[in-house]
Structure 1
Amino acid sequence: MEWSQPEVQGDLVTPRAGHAGVTIGENWYIVGGGDNKNGCPETLVLNMSKLAWSALTSVKERDPLASEGLSVCSALINGERHLVAFGGYNGKYNNEVFVMRLKPSDASRPKIFQSPAAAAAAASVTAAYALAKSEKLDFSSLNLSSNGVGNNPSELDLAFEIDALKEEKKELELSLTEVRAENSRLTEKVDEVNGTHAELSKELHSVQGQLAAERSRCFKLEAQIAELQKILESLQSIENEVQLLRRQKSALEQEIERSAAQRQGSGGVWRWIAG
């Protein structure tokens, strides 16, 4: 025998611990739980035949039902099935009993639950807002004991709430200080990057100027090369004319030599006749 992990469908369920569960028929009901920071306010049901999660209901985050370590059971009351929950801890220990009547067919409504990080951020914002409002309250009308806390349970709860909000305010102020420090560091980095960008821009303009000067020199060299090519073409025609003149000169010299030879031949005949 070994464990397997089937594919589960339905609503997204946030990780939790300390929750309570009870099975009724083919449904597994999950109540409460948390992650040591925030309670899970959803009451979930897993249809084990379809392996599909759905949410039955949801309470406030500080509700006793959103506690860790609570107990839950099922009971048949007046012929109807009920869930009964008791106890739990969510910053304080609870001793309330809660009952929920189950309908014959609970229609599941799709719901996307927040991740723990998003839930923590939302809780922090809510706490800061509540603290800002609580600081405006007038607590002079409360009947406090010598220890500074009244004997009324509601006053005790209010004092606990105020202390918790003050702690959360301190944490938020610390986070704000860290964010401001990080913002200052990022500002310095941005200034440094801007300075580097300015220097690189100057170098780029300098290189662009040098490139323009080199381009002008290239244009001048191309013009000189074109002129030299024209000169070379004219030199070729001059060389052709020189060769033609040389051939004419050679032909003329040959003609002169033949004429001289003919004169010498005619003079010898006359001398032979005279002798």
Structure 2
Amino acid sequence: EEAERQRILARERSAARRATLTQEKAEQQRTLARERSATRRALLTPDEVEQQRATIREINAARRATLTQEEVEQQRILARERSATRRALLTTEEVEQQRSIGREIHAARRAALTPREVEQQRSLAVDRSMAKRATATPIEAEEQRVLARERSTTRRAAHESEKAKQQQTVAYKTTRLQKTVKQKQTVMKRKPNQDAKVDWPKPVDMDRKINCLKNFIQHMSMDSLAESVCGICNVRRFKRDLRHVPLSKIPSIELLKIHPDLHNMIPKIQEINSFNSNGEFHKNDDIGFTSNQDERNVD
């Protein structure tokens, strides 16, 4: 009781002091108090900040529990008046800053909440609004309706302005697109006329045509397309890629023969040997094998 009396006396003294102050001095004191609280908060650790918030919540809850209905209503009225005077002194930029900060804080709070807590908050908000409507007088109800209408009109005006801006941007983009399409169409119409002025290519010379025809006939003739079997690798190749090499110039001709130990293992080896002994050789003991006409290398 003694502590409560001292608090009441301190409040009365501070209220009397504030009543004697001018508007400028009161604003100076508020700014000084804000700076002091800001420096104090900056020096605190996160744990200390959380402890202070918890203690402040407990003190406010205890104070609200001891208050009567009339005192609660008086405090609400005083808080509304203080917030109204504070908002009236603010500039448009400061008001916009405060709104953006409030939106960010609310968004962070909503993001940190669980679905269950979100549902609880919705139910509490519905209960509060119903209690307000039930306890409100006809005059207060009318004031609330007027405020709700003003809020809805401001919201609608902001939405309409945003819609108009979006429509303007869309119209600007469509007009630009139409202009670009028209420019492309005009360019495409001009192009055939420009191409018509270009000279036709000159006819090909007759000598070149005759040479191309000769080369084609030479490459597609039977002599050029004839095939033969290579005497070393036993692979069919074009005759034009084969060349004749004397057997005396092949040093290791024995390597091409099958080893005697394999005669019993491989079936029909005698037939193969007879075929190899009676192999197709060319005149002057020459053997035909493949080679590239450009490089002339033996396979």
Which has more strand, going by share of residues? Answer: 1
- Give the TM-score normalised by structure 2: 0.28
Question: Is the helix fraction higher in 1 or 2?
Answer: 2
Give the TM-score taking structure 1 as reference length: 0.30
